[in-house]
Amino acid sequence: MFKFKFVAGVLLIAAVFNFHTPVYAQQGVVQPLLKVYKTSTCGCCVKWLTHLTQQGVTHQTYDLSDLGSIKSKLQILPRYQSCHTGVSEGGYVFEGHVPAKFIKQFITKPVKGAIGLSVPAMPLGSPGMEVGQRFHPYQILVLMADGRSLVFAEISTYEEQF
């Protein structure tokens, strides 16, 4: 009798946990959470955050009057900097207008020795930098811990970002 109750209890617990497990977790979909550091007056940052939300990347925002200290602390060299900085739960940085698609790819399979990704400057047509139909091709860089960078992706068309 005890064995039956124990087995029934284990099955009940398993059923409860399976029933309450979110679908995205069962399918293995990455739902990254970023802490995003920005200034309160930056409109393109707000547009980029909207892009993240639409693409399933959750975020918490922190408005700072000076981003220099956070970028320095995270070892983002000036040549790779942009207007905002996202930091994943795993400590990876996403500097500038990095499309959500590539944030998810990187978090799923990080590059060994990397601290994160960057889209330096603010290329027209990147997420958050939409200006009509204008688009400038750009590169998404892998930032290595030793200060080097590698090309992670080359974005030639607007559609490649999604």
pLDDT value at residue 29: 53
30 pLDDT band, cuts 50/70/90, is low
The model's pTM is 0.80
Give the mean pLDDT of the chain. Answer: 85
Pairing of strands 114-119, 93-96: parallel
pLDDT value at residue 32: 77
d(CA 120, CA 126): 11
Number of neighbours of residue 143 by Cβ within 10 angstroms: 27
Q: What percent of the chain has pLDDT over 70?
A: 81
Q: Are 82 and 117 in contact (CB under 8 A)?
A: no
pLDDT value at residue 2: 43
Secondary-structure class of domain 34-155 per CATH: alpha beta
d(CA 85, CA 91): 12
pLDDT digits (tens, 9 = 90+) for 55-113: 999 999 999 999 999 999 999 999 999 999 999 999 999 999 999 999 999 999 999 99
Which residues in the chain belong to E strands, given as ranges?
A: 33-38, 58-63, 85-88, 93-96, 114-119, 138-144, 149-155
For 128-134, the CB contacts below 8 A with 24+ separation are 128/44, 128/45, 128/46, 128/47, 128/48, 128/49, 128/50, 128/51, 128/97, 129/44, 129/47, 129/97, 130/47
